[in-house]
């Protein structure tokens, strides 16, 4: 019981720290470092993150060997973190040298990194299990993840998912605010130069965006940075 309480206390402290990280990248890096430092045994951790169009990459890892194990999954298009993301909540491999699920991936991981066992945990924050990605835990020891470690890993992944979702939401809000400010600056320039209203200035930006096949944000950014009104492309 004291050991369980100690982990709960550390997990609560980590959860508070994660919510105080300044941006998404710092949050991800703190997640993997905290997982590697607080789970039992020698553990290397990484986060596989789902991007737009269902692309997956590894933006943070506690060790290059964990990042390489992830990268091999993306190259070979097979592996436990991909299954944890798309198929089920957790996926465990006790011994890479005896694994039959992903023989190509497991053999290369064992050969190139010395990893012998892994545990991949889906990161999700709602009842529909919409996946944000996976927390991947690797060990140079076979059979490194017992029932207790799996339970701790699941608790850690739950806290990490909440922090990750919060960081993503905050990043989206910052991006939206920056875009709104850029568009406002560009509108101001057009209003002053062309002696038009805010609505008319926005309409000019929209027409330029469509004519140049560029995002409105990019048209506004160029105008705000250079002060020059872009011309429509010649047809």
Q: What is the pLDDT of residues 68-84, one digit of tens each?
A: 999 999 999 999 999 98
Half-sphere exposure of 139 (CA within 13 A, CB side): 22
Neighbours of 97 (CB within 10 A): 11
Can you list the residues of the chain whose pLDDT is less than 70? 1-5, 7-8, 11-12, 15, 18, 53, 125-131, 167-168, 171-173, 230-235
User: Is residue 231 exposed (0-12), middle (13-18) or buried (19+ Cβ within 10 Å)?
Assistant: exposed
Two structure tokens written together for 111 = 């050969």
pLDDT of residue 16: 72
Domains of the chain as residue ranges with CATH: 2-167 (3.30.450.40), 173-226 (1.10.10.10)
pLDDT of residue 58: 94
pLDDT of residue 112: 97
pLDDT of residue 67: 96
């Amino acid at each position: 019981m004291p050991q369980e309480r100690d982990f709960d206390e550390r997990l609560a402290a980590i959860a508070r720290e994660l919510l105080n990280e300044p941006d998404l990248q710092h949050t991800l890096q703190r997640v993997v470092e905290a997982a590697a430092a607080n789970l039992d045994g020698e553990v290397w951790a990484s986060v596989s993150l789902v991007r737009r169009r269902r692309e997956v990459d590894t933006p943070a890892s506690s060790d290059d060997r964990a990042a390489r194990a992830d990268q091999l999954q993306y190259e070979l298009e097979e592996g436990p973190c991909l299954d944890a993301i798309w198929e089920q909540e957790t996926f465990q491999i006790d011994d890479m040298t005896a694994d039959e699920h992903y023989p190509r991936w497991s053999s290369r991981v064992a050969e190139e990194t010395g990893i012998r066992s892994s545990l991949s945990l889906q990161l999700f924050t709602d009842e529909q299990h919409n996946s944000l990605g996976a927390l991947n835990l690797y060990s140079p020891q076979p059979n490194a993840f017992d029932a207790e470690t799996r339970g701790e890993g699941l608790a850690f992944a739950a806290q990490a998912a909440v922090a990750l979702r919060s960081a993503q939401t905050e990043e989206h809000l910052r991006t939206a605010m920056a875009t709104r400010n850029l568009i406002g600056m560009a509108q101001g320039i057009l209003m002053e130069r062309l002696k038009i209203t805010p609505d008319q200035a926005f309409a000019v930006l929209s027409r330029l965006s469509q004519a140049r096949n560029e995002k409105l944000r990019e048209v506004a950014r160029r105008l705000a940075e250079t002060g020059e009104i872009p011309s429509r492309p010649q047809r």
